[in-house]
């Protein structure tokens, strides 16, 4: 997957993308991440990227020209033979559709993504209307820019790509993949400061362990995020368990 990020602060991405799963995925050529500084596409010698809002009001608005030209430059580098479907051009904005594991799985199907990080009080509306194909928000709170949101989206998407995680099961078992929170995990020592690991996990009885984990995941989801249960994809035994626990 090729990921192009259009941002005012490319240096913010350097450290996160140079460690952990990103480092490995880039080294193994599973992903390539290109950072594009919006300022490089400014038209004047002061490299102006923002301006006062028409109609007045506080704050500045990101100008359309540098953003359009940055994305057009990315598009012009795509080999024509690839053609294929539409290239997702995603604007990160608090007004976008809510990001979720479902959306991450949807984006993981593409071979190329373009992410535009918004800033200041906003982005000229023509960017949303005529350049972006999608708008995403990572939650109901306001960040000073789309950069952290873009990193969240890239992390959630990249870890779903085949070969990025150690084993294929690692992301299949995650919280939210089936719509439930994850069950508790333990490792050695079996007793730490007098706190014991649940006995069933030491039993070697795999069917019993699977049943315990399923019950824990359901209990935890009921306690913490009951609204997730309505949307969850449950097996019939799990549905019965939910009814029993209710
Ligand atoms: Cl995508 N951008 C900004 N600036 N704030 C946010 C956000 C995005 N998602 C939640 N808050």
Residues 114-131 have pLDDT tens digits of 999 998 789 999 999 999
Q: Separation of 35 CA from ligand 1 center, angstroms?
A: 19
Residues in CB range of 241: below 8 A, 6 or more apart = 214, 215, 218
Label residue 7 exposed, middle or buried (CB < 10 Å: 0-12, 13-18, 19+). Answer: buried
Residues in Cβ contact with 32 at an 8 Å cutoff, skipping those fewer than 6 apart: 1, 2, 3, 26
Rounded CA separation 228/4 (Å): 33
Tokens read off for 46: 């002061």
Q: Per-residue pLDDT for 92 more than 90?
A: yes
Instruction: Tell me the pTM.
Output: 0.94
Q: pLDDT category, 169, cuts 50, 70, 90?
A: low
pLDDT of amino acid 89: 98
The residues lining ligand 1, judged by C-beta closer than 6 Å to any ligand atom, are: 92-94, 96, 118, 136-139, 141-143, 145-146, 149
The catalytic position among 72, 121, 125, 168 is 121
Neighbours of 173 (CB within 10 A): 12
Active site annotation includes 69? no
**What's the gap between Cα 74 and its chain centre?**
21
Q: What is the pLDDT at residue 171?
A: 79
Centroid of ligand 1 to alpha carbon of 119 (angstroms): 9
Name beta bridge partners: 212. Answer: none
Cβ–Cβ under 8 Å, residues 135 and 97? yes
Interval between CA 115 and ligand 1 midpoint (Å): 13
DSSP-derived secondary structure for 1-24:
-EEEEEES-THHHHHHHTSHHHHH
Q: How confident is the model at residue 205 (pLDDT cuts 50, 70, 90)?
A: very high
The average pLDDT across 139-160 equals 97
Q: pLDDT tens digit string along 39-70? A: 999 999 999 999 999 999 999 999 999 999 99
Distance 136 CA to ligand 1 centre (A): 8
* Burial class for 96, CB neighbours closer than 10 Å (0-12, 13-18, 19+): buried
Task: Tell me, yes or no, if 174 is annotated catalytic.
Answer: yes
16, 53, 88, 94: the catalytic one is: 94
Residue 226 among the catalytic residues: no
- Report, as an integer, the average pLDDT of 174-192: 92
pLDDT at 223: 96
Distances (CA, A) of 55 to 52, 60, 75, 122, 125: 9, 12, 33, 14, 14
Residue 208 has pLDDT above 80, yes or no: yes
Q: Is the pLDDT of residue 81 over 70?
A: no
Average of pLDDT values for 123-151? 97
User: Could you tell me what percentage of the chain is helix, strand and coil, using 3-state DSSP and rounding each to the nearest 5?
Assistant: 40, 20, 40
């Amino acid at each position: 997957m090729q990921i192009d990020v259009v941002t005012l602060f490319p240096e913010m991405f350097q450290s996160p993308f140079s460690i952990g799963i990103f480092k490995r995925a880039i080294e193994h050529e599973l992903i390539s991440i290109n950072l594009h500084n919006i300022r490089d596409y400014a038209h004047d010698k002061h490299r102006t990227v923002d301006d006062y809002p028409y109609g007045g009001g506080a704050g500045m608005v990101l100008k359309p020209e540098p953003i359009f030209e940055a994305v057009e430059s990315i598009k012009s580098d795509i080999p024509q033979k690839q053609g294929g479907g539409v290239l997702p051009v995603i604007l990160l904005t608090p007004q976008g559709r809510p990001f979720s594991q479902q959306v991450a799985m949807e984006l993981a199907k593409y071979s190329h993504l373009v992410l535009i990080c918004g800033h200041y009080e906003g982005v000229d509306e023509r960017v949303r209307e005529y350049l972006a194909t999608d708008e995403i928000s990572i939650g109901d709170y306001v960040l000073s820019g789309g950069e952290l949101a873009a990193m969240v989206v890239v992390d959630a998407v990249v870890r779903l790509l085949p070969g990025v995680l150690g084993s294929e099961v690692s992301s299949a078992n995650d919280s939210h993949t089936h719509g439930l929170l994850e069950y508790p995990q333990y490792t050695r020592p079996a007793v730490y400061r007098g706190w014991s690991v649940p006995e069933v996990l030491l039993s070697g009885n795999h069917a019993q362990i699977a049943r315990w984990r399923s019950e824990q995941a359901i209990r935890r989801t009921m306690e913490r995020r009951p609204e997730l249960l309505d949307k969850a994809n449950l097996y019939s035994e799990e549905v019965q368990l939910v009814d029993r626990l209710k």
